[in-house]
Every structure is written in C-alpha cells, then in structure tokens.
C-alpha cells in the first residue's frame, strides 16, 4: 500500500508539473460572444451572466494554447505569465502566397560546402525563433535546442562520434549477426547501416587528411531534443528543426541535417553528456549550419508523393 501511495503521489507531482496557469478574462472587455467557449480545447470557459468565466470544474486542464486570447475580438484575455507581451495582430497581407511557400520548400537544399566564417549568435537565435511556434502535443512546448557555434567544438564532437559509429556499423557486416537478423526476419533493418559502414570508414580516412565528410567543416550545429517520456514530442522537435532550416535558407545560411550525430547522440552516453543533453532526453535531429560556399540554381526532380486515397 505504501508503494501504491508513493506511486500515486509521484504521478500527481508529474501531472501537476504539466498544469499551466490559465489566461485571465477581463470582464469589462468581455462582450459575451462565446467564441472562447467554442474554441477552447480544454473547455474551461462557460458563459455566466453574458460574461466568459473559467469554470470551476476541477478536471479542466488548460494547455495554454492561447486560442481564447487569439480568437477574442474584444481583447478580453490576458496571459498572466506574459503580461508584458502585447499579442501581435495577424497581418494576413504579410503571409506568403502558396506559390512562394512552395518555391521555398522546393528550392532549399542540403548544404555541404560551408564558408569558414562563423554564424553569429543573433542569426542563430533568429533561426531558432522559427521553431518556437511549432505545434507540440498538448502545447507542451517541450523542445530543447543545443547549439554548438564553434568549428573546433564540432570537430571534437566528431572525434567522439566517428569511433562510435565505426563500432556499431561494423556489427552490420558481421556474418553471424546478419544470419541472426535473417532468421529473425529483421534483415531489412540492417541494410541501411550495412550500406553506411564502408562509407563511414572512408569518411574516417578522409578526416585524417583534413577532409571533413561528416560535418563538412561547418561552423555551427543545432540539435533538438526532448524528454523521452513524451512520444509525440519527437514530431514537434523534427518539425521545429525543419522550420529552422527554412528560416536559415531565407537568411542566407545553409544547413544539412545530420543523421550520424543524431543517432550517435542517442546511443552513446559520453556524447550525450559532452553535449550537456540530459540522459532522460532523446535527440530528434541535428543540423549543421554555415554560410554556403556554393549556390544552387535549379530544383532537382523528386518522386511523386506516395498518396493512398481511401
Ligand atoms: C533525418 C535526416 C538525416 C540526414 N543525415 C544526413 C547526414 O548525416 N549527412 C548528409 O550529408 N546529409 C544528411 N541528410 C540530408 C539528405 O541526404 C538530403 O536531405 C537528401 O539527400 C535530399 O537532398 P536535399 O535536402 O538537398 O533536398 C539527412 C536528411 C535527413 C532528413
């Protein structure tokens, strides 16, 4: 019984950690239109005497999405945690046209040739700002960014990543392991690592000659991570990093996602610790950054979207 009570108390503490302070209504401004009641996903508002009030329902669980504040024509909401922030008005005229967005999405390319100059912190902050409004499960906003803004530190990271990759990838060439994977019906799982094993070995050799094929001598890198317990947050992290890459493109900064660093960070504690990423976090993406030393002028073809209409 004591264990049960302890478990429940621990669970309550975790749940309380998720609870957010709901927005406050400004009764003098509320016109009683009821839009907040309609849009609130947690259904925390009710109309009483033609005014919106927060219901006393103890199961109400405000996720702090701000939809009440965003929808209210009268500006009758204030976020007590952001009192000093005047909510920005949406300017529809400033939104890009669909063709412009499609051009950005199609024209961005992975950049693997960087100029050596650093990317200033202000520019990196602008890039990360593009990820801040990413949708997250339950609006938890639990996306963490780790930034390395020195080429030397990226090289030090690579010095840890390369031997680790060589070790795990060589397993994919072990005949006994391959037979085991075949017998257990998992051979396909090992195909990509097996393909990469000789490439990674070659990259290691090139590195000895001063040629960096892992991170392309990039002057900066961003990693995104989140708590392991939050399954949907992986989607949020990936989406945020992708948004960052699009903003980088518009700011003239080239990027390349980096599966090597991403994977090694999750499976090697030494690397995770070196990066200062908490052990209970999972990395969901890494991306090198730098000013491009090349310019693309055409959009390469891609396969048609694999759509299954039902
Ligand atoms: C999750 C992920 C991991 C990637 N890892 C690497 C990598 O480690 N090294 C690299 O050179 N490119 C990497 N890429 C870039 C892909 O090779 C690239 O996106 C793809 O070839 C398409 O080219 P594009 O980005 O220019 O359209 C990665 C891309 C993704 C989405």
How does pLDDT run across 112-121, given as a tens digit for each residue?
999 999 999 9
100 and 74 inside one domain: no
Residue 56 has pLDDT above 80, yes or no: no
Tell whether 156 and 292 lie within a shared domain: yes
Give the CATH number for residue 262. Answer: 3.40.109.10
Instruction: Say which residue, 85 or 209, is predicted with more confidence.
Output: 209
Closest CA relative to residue 61, chosen from 45, 44, 47 = 44
Percent of residues, the chain, with pLDDT higher than 90: 80
Domain presence at residue 280: yes
- Percent of the chain scored above 70 by pLDDT? 99
Q: Which atom of ligand 1 is nearest to the CA of 300?
A: 27
168-182, 184-198, 247-261: which is most confident: 247-261
> Phi and psi (nearest 5°) for 98?
-50, -40
Please tell me the total count of domains within the chain. 2
Query: Of 53-67, 190-204, 213-227, 236-250, which range is least confident?
Result: 53-67
Q: 15 lies in which domain range?
A: 2-82
Is residue 237 one of the residues assigned to a domain? yes
Nearest partner of 122 among 251, 215, 281, judged by Cα: 251
pLDDT, mean of residues 145-165: 95
Q: What tens digit of pLDDT does each residue of 270-297 get? A: 999 999 999 999 999 999 999 999 999 9
Task: Please tell me the residue having the least CA distance from ligand 1 atom 20.
Answer: 110
Neighbours of 86 (CB within 10 A): 8
Mean pLDDT (the chain, rounded): 94
The pLDDT value given to residue 20: 81
Q: How far is the CA of 111 from the centre of ligand 1 (A)?
A: 9
Does position 58 have pLDDT exceeding 70, yes or no? Answer: no
- 308 CA → ligand 1 middle, Å: 25
Q: Residue 77: enclosing H or E segment and its boundaries?
A: strand 77-78
* 157 alpha carbon – ligand 1 mean position (Å): 19
The pLDDT of residue 233 is 87
- Mean pLDDT lowest among 15-29, 71-85, 140-154: 15-29
Judge whether residue 14 has pLDDT over 80.
yes
Segment 221-233 mean pLDDT: 91
**Taking a C-beta distance cutoff of 8 angstroms, is the pair 147, 271 a contact?**
no
Q: Whose CA is nearest to atom 28 of ligand 1?
A: 257
Position with higher pLDDT, 61 vs 111? 111
Question: Within this chain, do residues 198 and 52 fall inside the same structural domain, yes or no?
Answer: no
Average pLDDT over residues 42-57: 90
Domain CATH number, residue 12? 3.30.70.20
What is each CA distance from 227 to 50, 237, 243, 288, in whole angstroms? 42, 11, 20, 22
Assigned domain for 211 exists:
yes
CA 258–ligand 1 middle distance (angstroms)? 7
Q: In the predicted model, is pLDDT for residue 59 greater than 90?
A: no
């Amino acid at each position: 019984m004591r264990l049960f009570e302890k478990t429940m108390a621990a669970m309550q503490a975790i749940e309380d950690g998720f609870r957010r302070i709901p927005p406050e209504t400004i009764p003098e401004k509320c016109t009683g239109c009821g839009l907040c009641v309609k849009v609130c996903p947690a259904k925390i508002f009710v109309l009483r005497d033609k005014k919106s009030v927060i219901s006393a329902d103890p199961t109400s669980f405000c996720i702090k999405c701000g939809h009440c504040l965003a929808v209210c024509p009268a500006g009758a909401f204030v976020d007590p945690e952001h009192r000093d922030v005047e909510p920005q008005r949406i300017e529809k005229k400033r939104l890009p046209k669909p063709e412009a967005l499609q051009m950005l999405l199609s024209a961005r390319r992975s950049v693997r040739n960087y100029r050596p100059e650093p990317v200033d912190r202000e520019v990196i902050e602008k890039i990360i700002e593009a990820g801040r409004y990413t949708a997250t499960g339950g609006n938890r906003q639990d996306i963490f960014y780790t930034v390395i803004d020195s080429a030397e530190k990226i090289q030090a990271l690579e010095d840890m990543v390369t031997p680790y990759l060589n070790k795990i990838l060589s397993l994919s060439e072990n005949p006994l392991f391959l037979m085991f994977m075949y017998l257990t019906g998992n051979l396909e799982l090992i195909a990509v690592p097996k393909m990469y094993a000789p490439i990674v070995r070659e990259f290691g050799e090139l590195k000895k000659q001063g040629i960096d094929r892992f991170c392309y001598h990039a002057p900066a890198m961003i990693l995104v991570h989140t708590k392991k317990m939050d399954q949907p947050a992986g989607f949020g992290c990936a989406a945020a990093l992708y948004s960052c890459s699009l903003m980088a493109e518009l700011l003239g900064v080239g990027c390349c996602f980096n599966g090597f660093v991403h994977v090694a960070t999750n499976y090697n504690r030494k690397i995770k610790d070196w990066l200062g990423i908490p052990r209970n976090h999972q990395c969901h993406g890494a991306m090198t950054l730098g000013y491009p030393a090349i310019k693309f002028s055409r959009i390469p073809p891609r396969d048609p979207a694999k759509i299954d209409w039902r």
